[in-house]
Structure 1
């Protein structure tokens, strides 16, 4: 009987590799891991105009390594040889990482110089070769073709007898920052991958996303061991070293360490409470007499507990016939809890430390989620922001089943996934049963992994129990000390009860009783309306406080920005004057524009003018006199609006037409900043509308002012795209946080949703009215009507 071998088509082999790399970002991460496995101290990712480069300073590859490992699909050398020469645990394992190259582009060139202190290069006869480096080239499209098997696809390999690796990189990559890194590091050996004919559109939006992904690729504590850089030719100064963020602004921190014997040590740090504001009498309560809750424990800032897998999952050992607990292995877990915001009354009730909520939100939006790291590299997509696996522990579902507040008597408070961050560190050595999915997108979710998830949840529960116990006692203390607040609550409950009874007994016939009850109902309704009004005003205050922060920043730096504005006036002319003495413009006749300093200076001057106009606009908005109610002459004010926006609109080919139809020069006594808010928001919306308009016809904004016996009227029009057809109720645009501005790549909302709400809110404060108009040209129109009591002499 004949023995016949299997054959694999080249296309199938390619699909096995390429389809097992889930995304282009994942492909780049695989190549970064290769640099780490090569014992490189750093890796550089560089986007040129038409290629992507991955550069490392690792040990490089000999001819034998290229042929028997790099060119062999699915090699298992990293599974059998875990450690690199310097003792790192290798991050790769499946031998398909090189197909990441195919995922990224159709053409790939590799230049690699091996470290001669580590490797000896042998030729096909087993003799030492004369080469110290190699050039490898492949066209992935060669894998396509009918009846073509994998052994018929070839790559080109050329040897170099003498290659200066550092000079090769500098000669082929024209980027000064990369040159500086190469000059300051040991680049005697390493590998450069150049990927061309890229399959994806790497606009800056996607490069920025990649940069964010790389920021959480390596735990911050490991960054001294392996540095990662990203650069883009189109944004020279935007990117650089990829640095993660160590969290030091937390409410609670939990550090858990599990060993091979299933023992777990847990250390919980409390940073939520302002000890200086805590009433000493609180520590007389029974809970605060117990270990871990005494005043000295609070002053120390942490407490510790020792437990085990069996204690964390009571009863599981008896049914663990497959010895799953013993298969989990050692790991460590760092967990952070961070409130995104707080109500002012809570500061008094729960003695919270104050914090900057905007900074916290920004940090959590970028670094939030509980992530898994294996051998110093992140396992995607666990804890990845905006991914379905962000809440892989299902903390949200857990919270939904137990929505109790922190101070609930049951003590069943559960943490929300949006308020946590953390890192779980595992290794291929200790956690053998945590295997990658072939797609490199997560771990195989077997029984071991599911039990592991439950152990993590039980560790988190230790923090939840601690916080809930403390919050309950603080709430009781507050209730006892603040009887007035308790009485107000009782009044609210009584008012609610009266209104409910009034609804049931609306046909009561007893007149005396009816009069008494009517008085109660009037008081109850008044109290309810006041509460609703206060709540609404508090919500508005929060939104306005957030919006004010950017204005405060501008106002704080007004003097410095004013000096910068003055410098911009003359710096290009000064430079040109100095240059003329040394190299007159005639020397550069016939020189390409991108090499002509005089052309570059003119471009720089144009950019300075744009920056200067923005500064003029911003500083004018921050003037103190705009925050005072004063007499505003309408014609002069509209002229100033036209002047402020003139350059910005001209640069976008938008014309602004202003028409004042009042016979007299009418004045209004208003806050100028209120008028600015109205017209600036309308003009910004018009600009956004024009920017997405497919038809580049004449772009026109019109402001028409008129008046009658009762009103001063402003009609505002543009010929942009108008209100979206998807808005079923056009009045919704005046609701807070309502926006139709969306990211064209993801569909996410990018507008604040506050502009038109501000317009209506301001008009309401002046007892004015707002009415949408529908111009014939299908653009946008709105009428703003101020009643004439704000006219001259009538305020």
Structure 2
């Protein structure tokens, strides 16, 4: 860079030819009306100014030809009004982006106040400062500035007001901004749009209604005055819209817990699907509590104009599960950072199994659906005064009741508090399991709803035919030639489908036998134990060969080994695997029951299938896969009942037939029992030791049943149980 460049100074203020910039009053419109674009946004800017002033209460009052925004914020002194409000483009909010209440300020450009001219031509301001106690009134007339044509001619008439000692006769400090000479009529839809701009500033109403609402972090309440009931309802509904976007709600209560009363939980999903449950207390140290918790899905499009990002921030600030003691909110509980239910810990440890729920309510990996604190909002109601009365003197002396610390911000960590944690967290785990189960059910149903290619081919052929009718002869011939190739495609598809069905049936048979092989391995382990015992006794010498006990053991060993081998008989011979026959239903069931004896031992099975029932043509391996899985499913359902009985029955006529298998187990819920035929869906949890033997519990047995049934043109479902039984399975077919 050259050192010879000369520095030139700009014109100085005192020079004769110096001219100032002038600002046309039209800039008021540019900075005001066109900056915000819509009246409801302009009004929202005033409310946000109240928020930035650390107000906790704001009233928007609609008069005959005016709108007033009244707040209990920090207020302004006359000097602050002159230096900040009247100076366009001030950036003091950028320098201090956090208020004394630790709020992040909503404005920073210094032009939002000009947007009020979008609402009306006159603005009157009354304010009293929290810091100085000074009060003033001011009036701004936008029409005068526009008539003068110069922005610098705009201003406000400011008067000291020492006689003003309160704002709106209720607040010691704050501000009132009144816009008059309004430019529009406000309708319900306008108020709804206004609420869309403000909802995220207001905590949930349940928090605001507590006795110590002023202690809620960042409390901010916006109310309307001077509007119809309908308009107020529209505004309030939109302000609470984020809380209406729940996907599930958990309600729970404990009554007479010290007397052994159980916890009761009801889980309801948005689609109306409901799951009730009861469970015992652990220590009987808590007598009474109730709670309601909403679960949210904060991804994808939210309803009611709620933005996902805003919703996430909202529940991060106000979410979690809050505890109220006789309507007094305990500040330590609730919010994203207060993890008293250890939900965040479960996520950080990637837990997928609940340590609270019994095995029959668990679903593999179900805890993956456990929500975090930032996806829930809930209220737990307790009464430490009631707990003290219910505890009695001895328990009080030992401190064994639910009580708050001296600081009244949290509960004493004792057995009673752990009982409260257990009650609420149990319900959360219950939700996670049911949610995961429902999600897997949906995924499975989507997999099964595959379109039929033959239908699509037929549609294409028909469309080609219609085109050929109006096409030139040469093109019509070519279309006909192309259409003829579809016949070859259909034939190939039929062959492929047939081969696929055969492979599917064989796969089902192999899977069934594979599960039986695990049971066989267990049996072989027992037989080897017996064999080793015999070897030991023989090696010890003596006349053991003549012992009746030894002979009985050998006979039992041989019989059990032979029975275990029967599990594999449907796959031992090629004809049983591949040859299709129309089997006699009664005889086939008897054979399958006999082959499955090692799995069904101890259960009384009645074969009442009529002699004339003929099953649809299929392989022995296929029918074994169907009935063996149904029978094992029935046996598992009877593990904890006294009467263990299965009855096989049937019916037939010229149009088709059916076989029924009924059991005395725990029963199924018929309204959604078809879901049990989908992969990995189960509502019955069997003991781990029985799972280890390959005797069900994986959620694929009934899936195999449906897969094979579909392949042999049969329908399977659960029906109203036959008299004397809890569950009835039906497989039916048509001869048409």
Alignment TM-score > 0.5, same fold: no
TM-score bracket for this pair, using the shorter chain length: 0.3 to 0.5
Q: What TM-score, normalized by structure 1, do the two folds share?
A: 0.31
Structure of larger gyration radius: 2
Q: What TM-score, normalized by structure 2, do the two folds share?
A: 0.33
